[in-house]
Structure 1
Amino acid sequence: MAVHCRKAELNDVEELYQLIQSYAEQGIMLPRSREMLIAQLADFVVAEDEGSMVGCGSLCRLGQDLVEIRSLGINHSHQGKGIGSRIVEVLEAEARRQGIPKLMALTYEVKFFERNGFKVVDKEIFPEKVWKDCINCKKQHCCDEIAVLKKLN
């Protein structure tokens, strides 16, 4: 399988929406409207296999020294093939390019992130995240996601 990662384009919006929505319906990812995806398109990377989108992920700047991996999802038929790790590599390279020293995520897939060099941390160390996104989340007072952090040196 020759998976290729690239910056998202306007014609990717519907597939991005459908992939993210499939995770959101399971309660494991925040939903994103098509309008929100268009507005944040420059932050997204997509993975393609033979011309079909099989995964996505994005970066969200939370402060001068912190960026979050968000909306990381892989088409169910392509899970377990290293595509998520490849997307994380591309997003990490972009964070490095921007000179951002810390990369974080909130996740249910702790082992995946640990395999990619992240460490579990207390989510309260990220007030930037709490005030940007968590304040609008229906799980705000009962969040069961785990915070992970990777320092980029």
Structure 2
Amino acid sequence: MIRQATVGDVPRLGKIINDCAEYGLMLHRSPTFLYEHVRDFYVAAEKLDDGLTEIIVGVCGLRVIWANWAEVYALAVTPDQRGKGLGGQLVEAAVNQARNLGVPQLMTLTYEQNFFEKFGFEILDRQRLPLKIWSECIRCSKNQACDEIAMARILADVPDSIGPNRTDAATTYPKIPPPTNGGYIVPTVLTVGRSNKRQKMDEVT
């Protein structure tokens, strides 16, 4: 069963996330962060044999970055439950929530390109990522050489009023620095980055 997380789920979903973080697959999350952002998360819950006891076996977060972007993050399923489609169900729950919130674009940073392509995500040029997303990367050990793949899914057209066609776009939406030595350096200025109305996704080369 896929449902929204509750505060009672935090210890278990925190363990799932942080176990994956030990392998460098995502960021560690503190109990403070998880309690403060519990409304971001969906969980996959399984009933034990007694039919009453429930255990959390998967988690996925959705955070709104700005009026035109939300991020799917911290997607993880316990090893014994992988291959059952729970990850996909969690992603779809996040997608549906983004639609309900009226967010037109979803993005994620991932190592699982093939998985996210199954759910309508396409590779995105990192130059199009909002700079605010990099605020999370400061805490990552790979923050000077990020090797994750940026991907996005378009849910609706992006209004010009929140896109790069604004008259102040040149100053409001600074560009992300180009890659260095095969990786990307986290910008020191962390603000809302530029987001273009989609014509075609640009592949990362």
TM-score range, shorter chain: over 0.9
| 1:28 matches 2:33 | no
Matching residue within 97, 118, 128 for 2:132:
128
RMSD: 1.0
| 1:47 matches 2:44 | yes
Measured in 1, the distance between the counterparts of 2:143 and 2:17 equals 20
Deviation at 1:81, TM superposition (A): 1.0
How many aligned positions are there?
149
- Of 88-97 and 134-143, the range deviating more from structure 2: 134-143
Match of 1:70 in 2: 73
Measured in 2, the distance between the counterparts of 1:25 and 1:143 equals 16
| 1:86 matches 2:83 | no
Larger radius of gyration: 2
Q: Could you list the runs of 4 or more consecutive aligned residues of structure 1 that deviate by over 6 angstroms after TM superposition?
A: none
Deviations 1:39-61 (Å, cap 9, x if unpaired)?
A: 00011111112121110011111
Higher helix share: 1
Partner SS state of residue 28, structure 2: coil
Q: TM-score, normalised by structure 1?
A: 0.94
Equivalent residue letter for 1:104: M
Q: TM-score, normalised by structure 2?
A: 0.71
Pick 1 or 2: higher relative contact order, CA cutoff 8 A, min separation 6: 1
Deviations 1:109-130 (Å, cap 9, x if unpaired)?
A: 1100001110011223112212
% identical equivalent positions: 37
Partner SS state of residue 132, structure 2: helix
> Which blocks of at least 5 consecutive residues in structure 1 are unaligned?
none
Higher strand share: 1
Match of 1:112 in 2: 115
> Which blocks of at least 5 consecutive residues in structure 2 are unaligned?
48-53, 157-205
Deviation at 1:62, TM superposition (A): 1.1
Matching residue within 94, 99, 119 for 1:96:
99
Deviation at 1:140, TM superposition (A): 1.3
Deviation at 1:137, TM superposition (A): 2.2
Deviations 1:26-78 (Å, cap 9, x if unpaired)?
A: 01110000111000001111111212111001111111110000111001111
Deviation at 1:80, TM superposition (A): 1.2
Match of 1:19 in 2: 16
Deviation at 1:95, TM superposition (A): 0.2
| 1:61 matches 2:64 | yes
